Every structure is written in structure tokens, then in C-alpha cells.
């Protein structure tokens, strides 16, 4: 959505068509490849052995590996154009997966000067949010790079990415497991640039937490509830910025500020009831067992919505107590100021005193005669 956004897409069914059937009716010569070359590139697709996990959760630990896979997938993508994709079972979905990899690993659809790529190893990252979930919570970092691509404008984004940023409040999106897009616009004024310097790290950190959890739980296979996925990202990154949630079939919905704050409050409530140390242990357990309900079952809560409702009441009560405390403090301050302020002058001897100087609250400490209660 710092807008850790969770992208959940169902896995593609195995391809069952044959290569010979695919080649029939496609006698046109490829622009960049011969039919024989494309037959070799597309053979894994038609045989149902295409490594989808390397598109939805690509695990690479060296730039060389990324470049080699980028070259291979570029060739597959060129052969699997819109016309040929329609003749392969789930060909359009495969092409979409390929497009994600080519966009984030290779910058497809954007000019070089409009986008940059940061390959992040979670096992060694110094990002504050990553440090908390990895070192404090003790959740082992998933292997391989996280692909963090920065764009200097929405216009610079390829359509597949740009539509997730349609809301002006969205600044970061996590796609699939480990693809992250961050809007890093060039700001015109000094104040805007200063604000961006403060918010951009938090946005990136938020999305890295999404990628951290997604790379372990693989949300394409496991439906993560929003309170859990967004709440974890907020809790570890200390961010509470609106994000976008992309649901199956690429439909997009914005998370409202109220919903987003409720996720933040839910984890604050859990920490207040369980203590931070215990909460971190349960977070680790919930990820290892792919069971978000572990976080609230210990409190006797039945579901996530009940957790959010109880957290809301808890937050309102705490705020009311806080406001009451402010009133009490303000009253004490006024009382102290009243006690020390120079208020009275003795009409008999001219002595100016303070309330605290009064003897039995009616006599001048200088001449011992009644004080002038009208004051100065």
C-alpha cells in the first residue's frame, strides 16, 4: 500500500494445449524471432511446465541471475504477443505475469531517466521496518531480492502500474509478492521536497514489510485479511498512509483513512493487552503457521472484525481519559497561577501582596488590617 498494497491473484491453471496446435494458423514471420526460436521459448508454456513461481515470487540473489532471467523472459514476451497469447490456455494471464517481471526487473514501459530500480536483500537491509520484523520479531528474512522501482511521475509508469496509483493519496504499491512501485515525484517547492524527504522512507519501509510477509505467505495462495496485512505493515514501519488493495482479477479499491486507522489501532490494542514482547512472538507464530487469528485468539476474540471493534472502543476510551487529564492539568495550572499572581493592595498601608501572603485570607501581612478584596 505507505500504500502497502496487497495484490492477490489466483494461480494459473496448467497449460494443456500442444505446441503443434499453437503453431497452426500462425504462419506470420516474427519481427524479432523465427518460428523455430519462438517454438523453443514457448514450449514450456504449452507443456504446462512454465515456472510461474519465478514470476509471482522471483527469487534471485545476484544481478547476473536477474539479467539472465530478464533476457529469457523478454524473448518469451516478444513471442507471446497479444495474438498468440489468445491461442494458448491462460496465455493472457501468463503474459500479464511476464509483464510484471519485465516492468520491475527491466523497466518495461518507462524511459530510463524516469525510473530507477533498487534491489533490496531483506536479510541485510537496514530499513527500520525490516530491522524490526527481522531482528526484533525474529522472523527470518525470505531469500532473494525485493524489486523496488521508483517513478518520478505517474505519467512515467506503465499502464499496469499506473492504474494502481489512480488515487492522489496512493504513494506506494506492492504487487504480487516482491514487486514494489513507489512514486517519487520531483517536487517544485522547498516545503514539498522537505516533506517528501520525511515521508518517502516510510512509504518504502511500509511496502518492504508487505513484500517481507508476502514472500513468506504467498498471498496468491493464501487470502490475507486486510487488518492483518496492512496492520503489520503499519506496525513495523510506523506508517499510517492510505494504500490501494488490488483484489483478484486486477480489480482495484482504495482503503479509506478510517479503515486504515482502524488497522493501526488494532495492533496498538493488541500490544496494550499482550505486551510488545508477547505480541512479537505471536506475530512470528502467525506468519509461520499462516494463521492471522493467532493474534487475537489469546484474548478470547472470535474474528478480525471483533478485534477492530474492541480496538475502536479502547481507543475512544483512552482518548476520553486523555482529554479529561488535560482538563485537570489545565485547572491545576490556572489555580497555581491564581495563587502566585499579585492581586491585592492594602488600602491602609499600600502594601502589594500575593494571595499566598494572606493571613487567614483577610488580613494584610504588613499592617495586620483587613485586606482590600477588590484587588488592583
The pLDDT tens digits for 226-284 are: 899 999 999 999 876 544 434 333 333 434 567 888 999 999 999 999 999 999 999 99
Neighbours of 178 (CB within 10 A): 26
Q: Give the C-alpha separation, 369 to 33, whole Å.
A: 112
Closest CA to 6 of 301, 269, 234, 191: 234
The 10s digit of each residue's pLDDT in 4-29 is 433 333 222 233 233 333 333 333 33
Q: Give the C-alpha separation, 309 to 290, whole Å.
A: 23
Q: How far is CA 248 from CA 49, 95, 214, in A?
A: 23, 16, 15
pTM of this prediction exceeds 0.85: no
Q: Which helix (H) or strand (E) holds 72?
A: helix 63-79
> Per-residue confidence at 356, pLDDT binned at 50, 70, 90?
low
**What value does the mean pLDDT of the chain take?**
78
The 10s digit of each residue's pLDDT in 180-225 is 999 998 877 777 777 777 788 889 999 999 999 999 988 666 778 8
Contact 176, 214 (CB under 8 A): yes
3-class secondary-structure state, position 32: coil
Neighbours of 30 (CB within 10 A): 15
pLDDT of residue 326: 63
Amino acid at each position: 500500500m505507505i500504500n502497502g498494497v496487497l495484490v492477490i491473484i489466483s494461480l494459473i491453471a496448467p497449460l494443456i494445449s500442444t505446441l503443434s496446435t499453437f503453431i497452426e494458423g500462425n504462419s506470420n514471420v516474427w519481427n524479432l524471432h523465427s518460428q523455430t526460436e519462438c517454438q523453443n521459448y514457448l514450449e514450456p508454456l504449452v507443456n504446462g511446465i512454465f515456472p510461474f513461481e519465478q514470476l509471482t515470487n522471483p527469487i534471485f540473489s545476484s544481478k547476473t541471475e536477474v539479467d539472465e532471467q530478464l533476457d529469457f523472459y523478454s524473448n518469451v514476451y516478444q513471442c507471446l504477443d497479444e495474438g498468440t497469447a489468445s491461442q494458448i490456455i491462460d496465455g493472457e494471464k501468463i503474459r500479464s505475469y511476464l509483464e510484471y517481471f519485465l516492468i520491475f526487473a527491466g523497466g518495461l514501459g518507462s524511459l530510463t531517466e524516469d525510473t530507477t530500480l533498487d534491489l533490496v536483500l531483506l536479510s541485510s537491509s537496514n530499513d527500520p521496518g525490516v530491522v524490526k520484523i527481522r531482528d526484533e520479531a525474529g522472523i527470518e528474512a525470505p531469500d532473494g531480492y525485493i524489486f523496488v522501482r521508483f517513478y518520478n511521475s505517474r505519467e512515467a509508469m506503465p499502464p499496469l502500474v499506473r492504474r494502481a496509483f489512480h488515487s492522489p493519496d496512493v504513494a506506494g504499491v506492492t504487487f504480487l509478492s516482491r514487486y514494489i512501485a513507489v512514486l517519487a515525484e520531483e517536487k517544485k517547492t522547498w516545503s514539498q521536497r522537505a516533506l517528501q524527504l520525511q515521508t518517502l522512507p516510510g512509504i518504502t519501509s511500509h511496502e518492504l514489510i508487505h513484500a517481507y510477509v508476502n514472500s513468506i505467505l504467498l498471498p496468491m495462495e493464501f487470502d490475507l485479511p486486510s487488518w492483518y496485512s496492512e496492520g503489520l505493515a503499519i506496525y513495523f514501519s510506523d506508517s499510517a498512509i492510505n494504500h490501494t488493495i488490488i483484489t483478484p482479477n486486477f480489480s482495484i479499491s482504495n482503503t479509506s483513512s478510517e479503515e486504515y486507522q482502524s488497522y493501526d489501532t488494532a495492533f496498538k490494542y493488541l500490544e496494550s493487552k499482550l505486551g510488545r514482547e508477547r505480541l512479537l512472538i505471536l506475530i512470528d507464530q502467525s506468519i509461520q503457521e499462516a494463521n492471522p487469528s493467532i493474534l487475537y485468539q489469546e484474548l478470547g476474540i472470535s474474528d478480525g472484525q471483533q478485534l477492530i471493534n474492541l480496538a475502536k472502543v479502547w481507543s475512544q476510551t483512552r482518548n476520553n481519559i486523555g482529554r479529561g487529564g488535560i482538563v485537570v492539568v489545565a485547572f491545576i495550572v490556572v489555580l497555581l497561577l491564581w495563587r502566585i499572581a499579585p492581586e491585592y493592595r492594602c488600602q491602609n498601608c499600600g502594601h502589594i501582596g500575593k494571595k499566598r501572603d494572606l493571613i487567614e485570607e483577610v488580613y494584610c501581612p504588613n499592617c495586620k488590617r483587613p485586606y482590600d478584596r477588590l484587588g488592583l
